[in-house]
Structure 1
Amino acid sequence: MHTKTLHQAMPIVATALARKFGVAVIVGGTQAQTDGRTIWLPDLPAASNLRPVAWGFLAHEASHVRHTDMAVFQSAGAASPLRQHLLNILEDIRIERAIRHQYPGTRATLERVIDWMLAEGQLKAPQAGEHPARILTGFLLLSLRARALGQTALIPHATAAEQVLRQTFPASLVHRLLGLMSRVGGLTNTAEAAALATQIEGLLEEEAEAQPPTNQASDGDSGQSDEANDEVAGQGSPGADPETAETDAENAADPSPADDATDDEMADKDDAQSADVESGTDGDSGDDTGDGNTSGDGVSGQSDAQDTVDQIRQALAATTDDLDGDLFEATSLMLGQAGADGSSPLLLPAAEEARVDPLRGKLVLDEAQATSRTLLVRLQGLVQASRLDRPLPVHQGRKLIPNRLHRAGVGEGRLFARKTARTTPNTAVHLLVDLSGSMSRQVTTSMRAYQVALEAALALALALDRIPGVSVAVTAFPGESGDEATVTRLLQHGQRPAARAGAFAQSPHGSTPLAQGLWFAAADLLLRPEPRRLILTLTDGEPDDPALALSVIAQCEQAGLELSGLGIQHDVSLLFRHSRVIEAVDDLKQALFGLAERLLV
């Protein structure tokens, strides 16, 4: 792994963020991607300048997982490449606004990704002469992020993109587009974003079908634009006014420099500048218009109108190759390359919920309670005894200690009692159970090793659950499929062991990915509030990768975690500083409770 400080280890930080966002994350390998349910990130060194980019990528993709309806997104995007790209831009804005509302800190996290893209040249304004669809979508992406998300670093690029947009498309289309853009702040779900993308595409179709006057002077653009704006304001879709009002309120609450002027004011200003250029008032453009000084020339006007229609039709017919990739695609590729350059071979396993068998669970629960009642009482008694108040004798106070009064005659002055604070264990325990294939061996006439181990784990969980100040979790490794990249959660912190007894009816499978199991338990405990954190491991064999297991154990100890290993007919002293070996599996419960006693008392 890349860091010796477990608290800074990327899988631990990523897990904390993933739990905060309520999504599943797997760290390791060379992929930065999501399938709509799980997010994958490569492991990066603590000093890597891509770490902040990875957190931004995680926040963005977590927002998709939480807020995007993938069925609607895929269905709407299948209509055309242009609509898919428009929808992706709008949905990105919507979901980032949503996650910023829930977790305000993600604003700065996401802005770091934008800063990195600008520095790397991954994000910039489209140039005149590029494909019209790229000019249109580039303007929407930059302008909406600058305005709706307040990413002020993009304002110069958004301004440049708007200038290119106005050179490429007619003013009427630009004005109507700005009107539709004002609705982005009111989008509440993926279906609404898809509907707006459809409207933008429909706006292009309407403009392509329109037949503008061939002798239209440049000064008429402003009037036509005003009419178009009136049309947008008066004929918007139902509910447009409330959404616009809501957007205005949001912009007032979160102003950005780009919002100082209204869309109409900016458009009128640019129209005036465009008119000056076309009429030759700009000295730089005087020579270029010398041959066509008569703006009312029918042939020239007809040619310009046809060029405009062609530009719009090109935008509508755009293919995937004509459009820029997804905004976060470059981020994904860069993170993947960084992972490929030297990522850790260790993946933080994904947790799968155990399949619960109520019938077998009842049998396991009855057996655990019947055979472990004496041990339960013993463990509880020891812990409770360690928490009894013991008055401390002092020289002054309000309460005398009767059985010390006789010492006053010999000069003893410590006759008063001072109460000592009662301390609880305040401990989080994570119990790891090895369910590798070797645990299937017969150990008694009626039971196999894994059955004894699971029963012992349940018995200990039942005992610890009854002790105030102790929180317990139980995890089996590997997962039910035998894959080292998964573990099975039998019991989570806060759950009642008796209610989860059916989850302890598991079967062995796979090898012994001890490092992955320890990695998962460490990530779980480091997110717990208890100051003391223990990992107890039951295993019967050598780990798949002993060196990797030792590395994880060393990092756990440096992070303040306490680890103990219980070897079932196998010596684990080379792995764990505190360990014990049992030769008779019948002694497993006694040995496990002995470890718990030593650690808790």
Structure 2
Amino acid sequence: MTSTTLKNAMPIVATALGRKFGVQVQVGGQQAATDGQTIWLPDLPADSHLRPVAWGLLAHEASHVRHTDMVVYQAAAGHSPVRRYLLNLLEDIRIELAIRRDYPGTEATLARVIDWMRAEGQLEPPKFDDHPAQILTAALLLILRHRVLGQQALSQPAQQAERVLRQTFPAALVHRLLGLLTEVRGLRSTAEAADLAERIQQLLDAEAQAPQPTEVPSSDADAETESDDGDSQAVDAGTDVGVPPRDDEPTQENQEPDGAREEGAPNDAADPTSSSAGDDEASAESEVRQDAGAETDGDQSDSGAPDRLPEGSGSASTPGTEYADPAADSMARAAGSESSAQGAGDPASGGPLQRVLAAGEGDLADDLFSRARQVMISHSGDAGFSLSKLPVAEEASCHPRLGEVLHRQVEATSRALIARLQGLVQSSRMDRPQAVCRGRTLVPARLHRSGVGDARLFARRRERVAPNTAFHLLVDLSGSMNNPTSSGRRAFRVALESALAVALALERIPGVSVAVSAFPGLGGDEERITRLVQHGQSVRQRAGAFQQGPRGGTPLAQALWYAAADLTLRPETRRVILVMTDGVPNDWAAAVEILGLCEASGIEPVGIGIACDVSALFRVGTRVQEAGDLKQALFGLAERLLVA
């Protein structure tokens, strides 16, 4: 079984959370995703360690359903893989911030998913020899989740990822990139997230096309590192550092008198921390480092010279090139534009930025929840339990004129049933008078008992509690319901008219709530169920929804899961599922499972077999052959369930 108790069953809990978030949830099958309207989750055992991961995924996907404009998202995601990843990352951060404002408890729910991922060895920082696109996207994911969402489990990975990012890409690019990331907290829509993703890609494009210097003195590298540290602190604090400087504006690290340095030349301003290095610094600037594969903590060496990066990852200031000796500097400058054109034509041989822009899906960091989805799906089939699904509810269209016609057809029946049930309930709420020795009302029929010394001549009445029952009527509309009964009428019409008559009668009784659903869904979709009446709706106003036709098979198990989830969330103390069906369910074992869970949880399932014996499934039920028998069976069962 999926669960020993109905309350802990995955479909029930998912339904409760879905209602809390205001989204549709479907449980079962082999997918964990959303289409912007419905969320799919695999079924997991109650003792599965992945349950917290499932609730975190549900909260994440629910925030997408509530806050993501899928039309804008799909249109903006049709660009390059890098652009699509950037948009998905920014939108994930934005919608999780939004749902945390609506439901503060989701912060802890989502944090547990991150804790699980870290325990599973996921969300590791990128390495120096990774593809540049992997380094960029993985670093942005870790930095934003740590600094914007405050997920503390990512503190160390985010710091290491930033060190690798700074060693792989030019310092000026990292400075501007971190400046753009300060806008993430203020994103208010999917369109704004798409705009920011576009501006980030434009920044990458501009930096990739601009000619890059081949050498940066250590003093300039130190100054840029200090400036970048200030950027990261601003992102961490969630405050703006201002709009990133344009190419024609001086930045903080190069504010010096006009003519102090030529355009495109490295900054020659001395850094106080590096000036003490003396002649050792000058000699270290031309030294070619040989420890290409070693990781670095990002600090300058004693000589102040920048560290050599792993092969293929570029330098801290010149993407795709190594530090050249002074004699080759002029040659490299002259070939700058040619190198850019060549890099664009052959991205694999270009620098890190060219490789980022040419990256494919396999070169990027994994989607945050992709591994969680795969693990959940793989575990959903390990225990050998049934993969019965919780169907998604769909509203039946209501035709007022047809509803009036149908209401007139069942009005006489429903009126008689109303009088019968109300009279029955009214009488059941009052016990027969009890003879007592004291009171205000005499019992005339007992006055003769005073002659034999019996003083119990007075009547006492005690009012009983009114019915406090929630009904959910399930109507089978499978293809076989199109068969005629012995009276010549179609079985589905008899079932729908009878359900409408009973619903009209039940809603008039104080303390009784009723809902009616038909299965399968419109078009025979077994993963959906059609709602005819919801609790609290006027049955008469919804009479037009009972104009339905037969379709599809008999997904009884899915319909029972839906009704059970609906009744579990009701406040009434007594809960009854009334099923009208004429055939064998598609999945017998799954139907038996959910019926057992219902009975164990106090929900009373009642079956009415139309020309079919349902006693093998339902402990309480009956079998009818004709329309008149069906109506009488419904009336008798309703009486029994209301006053039992």
Q: 1:408 to 1:311 in 2, by over 3 A?
A: farther
Query: What amino acid does structure 1 have at the position aligned with 2:440?
Result: I
Contact map agreement 1:100 1:106 (CA 8 A) in 2: yes
Q: Tell me, in whole angstroms, the C-alpha distance in 1 between the residues paired with 2:432 and 2:226.
A: 85
Q: Give the match for residue 81 of structure 2.
A: 81
Query: What amino acid does structure 2 have at the position aligned with 1:423?
Result: V
Contact map agreement 1:435 1:477 (CA 8 A) in 2: yes
Q: Give the match for residue 329 of structure 1.
A: 370
Q: Give the match for residue 619 of structure 2.
A: 577
Q: Tell me, in whole angstroms, the C-alpha distance in 1 between the residues paired with 2:327 and 2:158.
A: 34
Shift of 1:276: 2.9
Q: Does 2:355 correspond to 1:314?
A: yes
Q: 1:449 to 1:185 in 2, by over 3 A?
A: same
Q: Secondary structure at the match of 2:523?
A: coil
Q: Tell me, in whole angstroms, the C-alpha distance in 2 between the residues paired with 1:413 and 1:214.
A: 113
- CA RMSD in angstroms comes to 3.7
Q: Mark the runs of 5 or more structure 2 residues left unpaired by the alignment.
A: 232-239, 246-270, 276-296, 310-322, 344-349
Q: Does 2:547 correspond to 1:505?
A: yes
Q: Give the match for residue 113 of structure 1.
A: 113
Shift of 1:84: 1.0
Q: 1:218 to 1:391 in 2, by over 3 A?
A: farther
Q: Tell me, in whole angstroms, the C-alpha distance in 2 between the residues paired with 1:505 and 1:497.
A: 13
Contact map agreement 2:533 2:539 (CA 8 A) in 1: yes
Q: Give the match for residue 122 of structure 1.
A: 122
Query: What amino acid does structure 2 have at the position aligned with 1:62?
Result: A
Shift of 1:129: 2.0
Q: Give the match for residue 241 of structure 1.
A: none
Q: Give the match for residue 601 of structure 2.
A: 559
Shift of 1:156: 0.5
Q: 1:371 to 1:163 in 2, by over 3 A?
A: same
- Deviation string 1:384-413 (CA, Å, 9 cap, x unpaired) is 333359999999xxx953438999996969
Query: What amino acid does structure 2 have at the position aligned with 1:365?
Result: H
Query: What amino acid does structure 1 have at the position aligned with 2:303?
Result: S
Shift of 1:95: 0.8
Shift of 1:350: 2.2
Q: 1:180 to 1:408 in 2, by over 3 A?
A: farther
Q: Give the match for residue 494 of structure 1.
A: 536
Q: Give the match for residue 55 of structure 1.
A: 55
- Structure 1 range deviating more: 542-551 or 532-541: 542-551
Q: How many residues are paired up? A: 558
- Structure 1 range deviating more: 575-584 or 429-438: 575-584
Shift of 1:544: 3.1
- Deviation string 1:548-573 (CA, Å, 9 cap, x unpaired) is 32222111100110121222232222
Q: Mark the runs of 5 or more structure 1 residues left unpaired by the alignment.
A: 238-267, 286-293
Contact map agreement 2:414 2:501 (CA 8 A) in 1: yes
Q: Tell me, in whole angstroms, the C-alpha distance in 2 between the residues paired with 1:271 and 1:82.
A: 37
Contact map agreement 2:486 2:626 (CA 8 A) in 1: no
Shift of 1:367: 1.0
Q: Give the match for residue 364 of structure 1.
A: 406
Shift of 1:210: 4.1
Shift of 1:148: 1.1
Q: Tell me, in whole angstroms, the C-alpha distance in 2 between the residues paired with 1:518 and 1:271.
A: 74
Q: Does 2:301 correspond to 1:277?
A: yes
> What is the TM-score of this pair, normalised by structure 1?
0.83
Query: What amino acid does structure 1 have at the position aligned with 2:469?
Result: T
- Deviation string 1:450-485 (CA, Å, 9 cap, x unpaired) is 212111110111111111221101111222322333
Contact map agreement 1:474 1:489 (CA 8 A) in 2: yes
Q: Tell me, in whole angstroms, the C-alpha distance in 2 between the residues paired with 1:11 and 1:188.
A: 32
Q: Does 2:136 correspond to 1:95?
A: no
Q: Secondary structure at the match of 2:374?
A: helix
Q: 1:315 to 1:154 in 2, by over 3 A?
A: same
Q: Give the match for residue 181 of structure 1.
A: 181
Shift of 1:80: 1.5
Q: Secondary structure at the match of 1:481?
A: helix
Q: Tell me, in whole angstroms, the C-alpha distance in 1 between the residues paired with 2:360 and 2:28.
A: 34
Q: Secondary structure at the match of 1:355?
A: coil
Contact map agreement 1:43 1:343 (CA 8 A) in 2: no
Q: Give the match for residue 338 of structure 1.
A: 379
Q: Tell me, in whole angstroms, the C-alpha distance in 2 between the residues paired with 1:164 and 1:88.
A: 22
Q: Tell me, in whole angstroms, the C-alpha distance in 2 between the residues paired with 1:435 and 1:480.
A: 10
Q: Tell me, in whole angstroms, the C-alpha distance in 2 between the residues paired with 1:275 and 1:541.
A: 75
Q: Give the match for residue 514 of structure 1.
A: 556
- Deviation string 1:96-115 (CA, Å, 9 cap, x unpaired) is 11111112222122112111
Q: Give the match for residue 495 of structure 2.
A: 453
Q: Give the match for residue 31 of structure 1.
A: 31
- Deviation string 1:525-568 (CA, Å, 9 cap, x unpaired) is 11212121001111223333333322221111001101212222
Q: 1:86 to 1:350 in 2, by over 3 A?
A: same
Shift of 1:72: 1.6
Q: Tell me, in whole angstroms, the C-alpha distance in 2 between the residues paired with 1:383 and 1:477.
A: 31
Shift of 1:300: 7.0
Q: 1:138 to 1:282 in 2, by over 3 A?
A: closer
Shift of 1:74: 2.1
Q: Does 2:191 correspond to 1:191?
A: yes
Query: What amino acid does structure 2 have at the position aligned with 1:147?
Result: R
Query: What amino acid does structure 1 have at the position aligned with 2:550?
Result: P
- Deviation string 1:476-503 (CA, Å, 9 cap, x unpaired) is 1222322333222111111111011111
Contact map agreement 1:557 1:563 (CA 8 A) in 2: yes
Contact map agreement 1:32 1:332 (CA 8 A) in 2: yes
Contact map agreement 1:383 1:600 (CA 8 A) in 2: yes
Q: 1:599 to 1:207 in 2, by over 3 A?
A: same
Query: What amino acid does structure 2 have at the position aligned with 1:537?
Result: V
- Deviation string 1:406-444 (CA, Å, 9 cap, x unpaired) is 999969699897x96762322110011122223223337
Q: Does 2:521 correspond to 1:482?
A: no
Shift of 1:326: 1.4
Q: Tell me, in whole angstroms, the C-alpha distance in 2 between the residues paired with 1:492 and 1:457.
A: 14
Q: Tell me, in whole angstroms, the C-alpha distance in 2 between the residues paired with 1:283 and 1:29.
A: 52
Q: Secondary structure at the match of 2:495?
A: helix
Q: Give the match for residue 403 of structure 1.
A: 442
Q: Tell me, in whole angstroms, the C-alpha distance in 2 between the residues paired with 1:583 and 1:213.
A: 90
2:419 is aligned, of 377, 382, 385, to 377
Q: Give the match for residue 133 of structure 2.
A: 133
Q: Tell me, in whole angstroms, the C-alpha distance in 2 between the residues paired with 1:207 and 1:11.
A: 50
Q: Secondary structure at the match of 1:474?
A: strand
Query: Kindly, what percent of the aligned residue pairs are identical?
Result: 55
- Deviation string 1:32-75 (CA, Å, 9 cap, x unpaired) is 22222222221111111112111211211121122111222222
Q: Give the match for residue 66 of structure 1.
A: 66
Shift of 1:275: 6.0
Query: What amino acid does structure 2 have at the position aligned with 1:383?
Result: V
Q: Give the match for residue 471 of structure 1.
A: 513
- Deviation string 1:230-282 (CA, Å, 9 cap, x unpaired) is 9x945459xxxxxxxxxxxxxxxxxxxxxxxxxxxxxx999998563272599
Q: Tell me, in whole angstroms, the C-alpha distance in 2 between the residues paired with 1:467 and 1:456.
A: 17
Shift of 1:220: 1.7
Q: Which has the higher helix share?
A: 1
1:387 is aligned, of 429, 435, 449, to 429
Query: What amino acid does structure 1 have at the position aligned with 2:114?
Result: I
Contact map agreement 2:179 2:243 (CA 8 A) in 1: no
Shift of 1:218: 2.0
Query: What amino acid does structure 1 have at the position aligned with 2:122?
Result: Q
Query: What amino acid does structure 2 have at the position aligned with 1:381?
Result: G
Q: Give the match for residue 542 of structure 1.
A: 584
Shift of 1:78: 2.1
Contact map agreement 1:83 1:201 (CA 8 A) in 2: yes
Contact map agreement 1:214 1:301 (CA 8 A) in 2: no
> What is the TM-score of this pair, normalised by structure 2?
0.78
Contact map agreement 1:28 1:346 (CA 8 A) in 2: yes
* Structure of greater Rg: 2
Q: Tell me, in whole angstroms, the C-alpha distance in 2 between the residues paired with 1:580 and 1:301.
A: 96
Contact map agreement 2:442 2:457 (CA 8 A) in 1: no
Shift of 1:128: 0.9
